[in-house]
Amino acid sequence: MEMLVPPWLESLLSTAFFTICPRHREAPRSECNMFCLDCSSSDAFCFYCRSTQHRDHPVIQIRRSSYHDVVRVAEIQKVLDISGVQTYVINSARVLFLNERPQPKSSTSKGGVSHLCEICGRSLLDPFRFCSLGCKVSSSLLIFLIRFLPTLSKLSRIVIEN
């Protein structure tokens, strides 16, 4: 499993969503729950900013489930390989979590749990490899480091010696 990480993905995973838009704070739908895949320095933005600043851009909407950010599978799978990531049906829509969530206290003992996230160890419902998109990205970065770190360290020694 190798995943090329698009330039917007790390920003998506580190963005704070569901804040009030500073430009439209008085408007009814002013929570920042959208993310632009085209704008390189994209922060979360609201419904109104989308229509004015991101009209023709590919945008995904972030939703909330139990105080954690999720994205609909139908939206994200158009632009990203999400294979291996646990999905859930919430409010009749299939979603996946953007980032790792804390393990519930009742699940701390791994007895009887057969599927665990390869990065954080969270128990999974089905035979998936990751609990979130963030964990899948972490796995890809680890694979990259394991594969290319020896080469990079050789290159840095050559540069330092010359």
Strand order through the sheet with 88-90:
34-36, 59-65, 68-72, 93-97, 88-90
Burial of 135 (0-12, 13-18, 19+ CB in 10 A): buried
Confirm whether pTM is higher than 0.85.
Answer: no
From first to last of the 162 residues of the chain, give the pLDDT tens digit. 445 678 899 999 999 999 999 999 999 989 999 999 998 677 999 999 999 889 899 999 999 998 999 999 999 999 999 999 999 999 999 999 999 988 776 654 556 668 899 999 999 988 999 999 999 998 876 555 555 555 555 555 554 544
The pLDDT of residue 29 is: 87
Q: How do the domains of the chain map onto residue ranges?
A: 9-100+116-161
Work out whether strand 68-72 and strand 59-65 pair parallel, antiparallel, or are unpaired. antiparallel
The SS3 assignment for 57 reads coil
Residue pLDDT, tens place only, 24-67? 999 998 999 999 999 867 799 999 999 988 989 999 999 999 89
Which residue matches tokens 């999400």?
82
